[in-house]
Amino acid sequence: MSFLVSLLFLQAASDMGPGTPPYARPGEESVDPYVADNRNAGASPFDGEGMAKAFHGQDGIRRIVDTMVEASSADPVIGEIFANHDKIRLKRTIFEQFCYILNAGCSYTGRDMAASHKDLGIQKADMNRLVEVLQRAMTTEGVAFQAQNRFLSKLAPMRRDVLQK
Ligand code: HEM
């Protein structure tokens, strides 16, 4: 299946110009070509439907991601890191990643975490700030604290790929 997705991606990339994946939303900027694979999401999905329900399905996940990306971009501490990055793509790919990990019925088509954050200069304090922003977005959505923490523990090991080496 992931082989098929890769073929589709490569095909569409050649039709639409380099780096334009078939899943791109209107207005997305193109990125250098890469092979789409769920393993790029950086974590395996939860079993069963419990976590997807706790996050109110795809609609809830979309609200959380949109709020998180907007709040991060407007944040006095980390906002600058998000300046001049494609927020349309960011909202789509982070939505896909969260939806995939929460087992809410999506595939992840973005880049892996090391490639996505290379050269962004992200420090520990930036990571902690982003987690706070995400916690606020999940709380606003009404996600129970236990489910929030289960999800955050899936993201925690990704720190090593996100932080500046
Ligand atoms: C575990 C924590 C994190 C996860 C799961 C995550 C997830 C992602 C994903 C899925 C993408 C998009 C990949 C793609 O477009 O192909 C991305 C890109 C990005 N992330 Fe993160 N991220 C994390 C931490 C952070 C932190 C702490 C910051 C800054 C404070 C940050 C800033 C960015 C920026 C600016 C981009 C856009 C890069 C570009 O346009 O090339 N991320 N992240």
Nearest ligand 1 atom, CA 82: 35
Residue 14 has a pLDDT of 36
The residue nearest atom 43 of ligand 1, judged by CA position, is 116
Per the listing, tokens 């207005």 go with 27
CATH architecture of 40-162: Orthogonal Bundle (1.10)
Is residue 93 within 6 Å of ligand 1 at its C-beta? yes
Is residue 41 within 6 Å of ligand 1 at its C-beta? no
Q: Is 30's pLDDT higher than 60?
A: yes
Residue 165 has a pLDDT of 83
Q: Is 26's pLDDT higher than 70?
A: yes
Rounded to two decimals, the pTM is: 0.91
Alpha helices in the chain (DSSP H): 2-16, 50-54, 57-74, 79-82, 87-101, 113-117, 124-141, 145-155, 159-162
Q: pLDDT of 108-119, one tens digit each?
A: 999 999 999 999
Q: Is 43's pLDDT higher than 60?
A: yes
